[in-house]
Chains A and B, each alone.
Chain A
Amino acid sequence: MTYFEVFSLPRKLSIDVAALEKQFYALSRRWHPDRFAARPQAEQEAALAQASLLNDAYRTLRDPVLRTQYLLRLLGVELEEQSKAATEAARASGTEKKQSVPPELLEEVFELNMQLAEMRAARQMGEDEPELRRDLLSAKDAFESKLDATDEELQQLWRVWDAAEDEGAQPAQTSARDAMVTLLNKRTYLRNLVRDVNEALESESGTQHHEI
């Protein structure tokens, strides 16, 4: 049973999350262990399995990124397998593997990581680097808005994919699928960066707090 089937939903990406939540609570009551306390062991276990499937399905489907990743897996997209196959093809042909994200993004990610490392090193020496902190903050803002833009783009692709599903338009669906893979790849870098900058900035304010 797929997570979509748990909620009797069609296999589509645009989901009414409020309705999903309502349905989740209704189904949770139906499979609640208390209602099976007086039932035979086998029935209790089956209800428990249903409840746990329901929880996994809800947690996955309510989250835009997890939902997209889940659907891509259902479609047979294996990111790691693809990456390995591309490396093997590059080795066999003696060419260079094409990176799955634009080189400019990798450059930016690398540069920002260098700045983060610099900031951590400075802090270990007990030095304050206000300029570096300002740079990191503005870089963080830039990456956060990129992350927002990515999420909007993802929703547009959902609509394309869903419409193609209705119309049985295979080529359109395939290209929407590939675009979603590319977008999610890019998103991983952006999300990590925002997380790392937040950590670096937070632990800094933590240090200052100690000194007071």
Chain B
Amino acid sequence: MAYSDKVVDHYNNPRNVGTLDKSSEEVGTGLVGAPECGDVMRLQIRVNPETQVIEDAKFKTFGCGSAIASSSLATEWVKGKTVSEALEIKNTDIVKELALPPVKIHCSVLAEDAIRAAIGDWKKKNGVAETATVAAAQ
């Protein structure tokens, strides 16, 4: 199977590989896995407490080229967005951007899961209610 140019580019020059301080109040960490292939992905965000803007994002992924490209792209996309804007990223957007074939769609699902998990962790740390709870209360 041939990878698209964009996947190859992200794979050869992954953006934002690395680690943020897990213990910081401003950092949310998401660790997720795809049981279909055994890939694991860690995505971290640093959120400005005043503006709720994601100012930095890092990832580390052990998996195939598509999983690495999906997480690399995810960090690029969340940077500069607010937390609620980042929650609007869908796995299908990633599929489109990277031209992922059907057998690699689960990699994009993993990246979306990682974004949500990182934001969920940050919300827990900062006592922000999940939107579902808010919606239910209204």
Contacts and interface: CB of A to CB of B under 8 A. Distances in A.
A188 B36 contact: yes
A84 B106 contact: yes
Interface stretch (A35-43, A106-114, A128-136, A144-152): A106-114
Contact of B35 (A93, A114, A188): A188
Contacts of A84: 91, 105-106, 109
A172 interface: no
B38 A106 contact: no
A113 B61 CA distance: 9
Interface in A94-119: 94-97, 99-101, 103, 106-107, 109-110, 113-114, 117
B42 interface: yes
Given A83-B34, A84-B105, A91-B112, A109 B40 contact: yes
A6 B45 CA distance: 53
A189 interface: yes
Contacts of B42: 110
B8 interface: no
A104 B98 CA distance: 31
Contacts of B36: 79-80, 83, 188
A101 B33 contact: yes
B2 interface: no
A191 B38 CA distance: 9
A192 interface: yes
B113 A95 contact: no
Ordered nearest first, which 9 A-B pairs have the shortest CB separation? A94-B131, A185-B35, A96-B120, A192-B38, A113-B62, A188-B38, A93-B132, A95-B132, A189-B38
